[in-house]
Amino acid sequence: MQRYYSLKNLNTFGLNVTASHYVSVESLDDIDQAARSEIFASSKRLILGGGSNILFLDDFFSGIVLHINLQGWEIIEDDPDFVIVKVGAGHEWDALVNAMVERELYGIENLALIPGKVGAAPIQNIGAYGVEMKDSFHRLHAYDLQTHKIEIFDKERCDFGYRNSIFKQQAKERYIIMWVELKLKKNAELNLDYGNIKDYLSENNIRNPTISDVRDAVVAIRQSKLPDPVEIGNAGSFFKNPVVHQLLYDDLKREFHDLPGYTNGNSTYKIPAGWMIEKTGWKGFREGDAGVHNKQALVLVNHGKATGREIFGLAMKIQQSVRKKFGITLEPEVNII
């Protein structure tokens, strides 16, 4: 266990945060030892992956940071139609995507370039370009901080939803995800439904796309739209896209004719939060070093020396003005610590 450990390079907002206690978890023994220590029982805890979906409010975290660093992946089942791949929770998500694309194993190519670690992917059921992690999820192994035992969670038990799972609800902070198993297909099954991917492929004259073409398309689209945290601190989408009842959607549509929305097929619509933030005039806004990205209003950024509270304060102002204009309360996607 290390004391007074800097987390500046372990959160993509680039906030200058120090933790009073820090442990790098590389094995089951590491976690067992940390979880049974005296200090653990009396301390606040934070389970940390790549730090790409968190916002620290304060510059000092008084408690134990468990940094999950279990690496590597292996194929544990090889069927004529699919494989089951078991991955360490600390493995870089995008490195896994690339390894699977190289082997032509289908399922997660649309989730290329999402920052962070494999262990965090089930927490909010990461998603992009028409695909969610749950679509390829098999099961996971989690360390129970109450019983000190490993438990298996299948898809049903994870209760995945839109940017949601049991680990953000009733199981929050009880389990540490150690390994994730994904079920990937051997037969070509590409998801090209998402508009931008189709456009990219046709602009580049790719008529019969391969799995690498799709991954490359996603990477190119993302790079053209989203800020790279290495260049400017951010945690991707700050808010979730709100899901509203059709009646409310119809009402809003009468008032705002250009309101976009995607039906979920069950009398609900998902409205792009970025559109609402842009409509309330926040795109490109900057207050000190806290700001709203100038290409994607859903992304809040740290231009350099912003504090967590400044970024959070800006988020709350945005939430308030969206509520005033549209009557909808945006819910943060980013975990506030």
Ligand X SMILES: Cc1cc2nc3c(=O)[nH]c(=O)nc-3n(C[C@H](O)[C@H](O)[C@H](O)COP(=O)(O)OP(=O)(O)OC[C@H]3O[C@@H](n4cnc5c(N)ncnc54)[C@H](O)[C@@H]3O)c2cc1C
Please choose, out of 151-159, 229-237, 269-277, 315-323, the segment that lies near ligand X by the rule CB under 6 A. Answer: 229-237
Q: Is 164 in the site for ligand X (CB under 6 A)?
A: no
Among 5, 7, 14, 50, binds ligand X (CB under 6 A): 50
Contact status: 121 vs ligand X (CB under 6 A): yes
DSSP result, 134-176: GGGEEEEEEEETTT--EEEEEHHHHT-BTTB-GGGTTTTTTEE
Residue 237 among the catalytic residues:
yes
Contacts of 7 (CB under 8 A, 6+ apart): 15, 17, 18, 19, 22, 48, 51, 56, 61, 65
- The answer to whether 233 contacts ligand X (rule: CB under 6 A) is no
Other C-beta atoms within 10 Å of 324: how many? 9
Contact 5, 24 (CB under 8 A): no
Percent helix, strand and coil across the chain, each to the nearest 5: 30, 30, 40
Q: Which of 67/82 has CB closer to ligand X?
A: 67
In single-letter form, the type of residue at position 194 comes to: Y
Has 278 been annotated as catalytic?
A: no
Examine the residue annotation and report whether 36 is marked as an active-site residue of this protein.
no
Q: How far apart are CA 277 and CA 294, in angstroms?
A: 12
Site residues for ligand X, window 239-268 (CB under 6 A)? none
Pick one of 7, 34, 47, 140: the residue that binds ligand X (CB under 6 A). Answer: 47
Task: Using alpha carbons, list the distances in angstroms from residue 163 to 124, 126, 169, 194.
Answer: 4, 6, 11, 18
Selected from 17, 35, 85, 126, the binder of ligand X by CB under 6 A is 126
Minimum CB distance to ligand X smaller for 19 or for 176 = 176
Does residue number 229 form part of the binding site for ligand X (CB under 6 A)? Answer: yes
**Judged by CB under 6 A, does residue 166 bind ligand X?**
no
Residue 117 near residue 24, CB atoms below 8 Å: no
Helix or strand holding residue 300 (H, E): strand 299-302
How many other β-carbons are positioned within 10 Å of the β-carbon of residue 80?
6
The site string for ligand X over 68-107 (x = CB under 6 A, - otherwise) reads: x--------------------x------------------
Residue 88 three-state SS: strand
Please pick, among 52, 165, 237, 310, the residue that the annotation labels catalytic.
237
65 binding ligand X? (CB under 6 A) = no
Among the listed residues 19, 65, 114, 184, the single contact to ligand X using CB under 6 A = 114
Task: Give catalytic residues, as residue numbers.
Answer: 163, 237, 333
Interface residues with ligand X (CB under 6 A)? 12, 46-54, 68, 89, 114-117, 119-121, 123-124, 126-128, 176-177, 226, 229, 234-236, 335
